[in-house]
Amino acid sequence: MRKISTLILSLGFGLSVNAQTLINNAGFETWGGNPAPGVNTEPNGWYSNKSGSGLASSGPQTCFQDLTIKHAGTSSARVVTTYYIIAVVNGNVTTGIVNAPNSNKAEGYLSTIHPTTTSDKRRMPFTARPDSLTGWYQYTQATSGTNPTQEQGKVRAILHKGNYYDPETPVAGNHPDSSMNKIGDALFLTAMANNTVWKRFSVPFTYTSAAIPSYIMINVTASANQLTAAPGITGNGSKLWLDDLLPIYNSVGVKEASTASSVKAFCYDKIFYVDFIARTNAQSTLSIYDLTGKLVTEQKVDNDKLNSIDMSAQQNGMYLYTILGAGYKKSGKFIIE
């Protein structure tokens, strides 16, 4: 009788979970889907200076897929600050567009819309209000330049509506002021020191509006000081590795329906099941996290059968999951007891 009750409870969590919004390609597993001249590869849904505007695309590649140093899965994102001809180009990866109107770094900015090709909008959909942002990183400071030991990496996530620009304050009329579109943001800065093992970070979102956002803009750089190559800090060679970004929701609910109704997910007797009603020959990726944001397991599941994942080695409690396939994403919570 207890197992039957557990199954009914677990089915309730699996089929009518609070499907929290997650970040697209947060583990930097898929690359090469953003064709642009001169770009060897970029993470799908993310961009670098090579697909930017103005002088940005003429600089060196600063974003790379790292198949060796990764927290989980098959790869991580590595951004590298690199000296190029007469200046240092900050290592970067973003969900938006890297813009360099001229050689004055103070006028450079990131945006969700191209400054001249207005049909080019790079806005990652995100319609939730998480409590915090977590992720995993490694960092190596600059090896040369002025005050290289003052270098630090940066991850900034901005929840917004409409278009957005970072930094927000215009310089010499380089972009509009869209600060009124901000709903909240989270900022992580690495220590001014090397960190050669994977370390988890967690930073809170600070909200300036009670509205529900439409998008999230995430900007990552190996050099937190935008004016790297100006007097002061002129580091060359800073490297930031980033993997497994996860928004955390501490307000637990069970009312939002699944975003992929043809996929059923539930836990029974410490086995997590993923079942595909519409059988196909494709595969999807299942990721399971604990409530601290730690990736418990990530594996491929077949879309033509009922998949079973043994969770008996995990402690009792609530877990988050996401199932990502072609054209859909399903996420939610389940309980092991």
Under the banding of pLDDT at 50, 70 and 90, the label for residue 38 is low
* Span(s) in the chain for CATH 2.60.40.3080: 2-20+254-336
Q: What φ, ψ does residue 115 adopt, rounded to 5°?
A: -65, -25
pLDDT at residue 8 above 50? no
pLDDT at residue 252 above 70? no
Amino acid at 327: G
Q: Which fold has domain 2-20+254-336?
A: Immunoglobulin-like (2.60.40)
Query: Can you give the three-state secondary structure of 35-95, one letter per residue?
Result: CCCCCCCCECCCECHHHCEEHHHHCCCCEEEECCCCCCCCCEEEEECEEECCEEECCEEEC
pLDDT at residue 306 above 90? no
Q: Check: CB of residue 328 under 8 Å from CB of residue 19.
A: no
Average pLDDT, the chain: 83
What is the percent of the chain where pLDDT is above 90?
Answer: 48
Q: What is the rounded average pLDDT of the residues 283-296?
A: 85
pLDDT at residue 303 above 70? yes
Between 197 and 1, whose confidence is greater?
A: 197
pLDDT at residue 244 above 60? yes
Query: Which CATH code for domain 49-248?
Result: 2.60.120.890
Return the beta strands (E) in 194-316 as ranges.
195-204, 206-207, 215-221, 239-248, 263-268, 271-276, 283-290, 295-302, 306-310
pLDDT at residue 237 above 80? yes
* Span(s) in the chain for CATH 2.60.120.890: 49-248
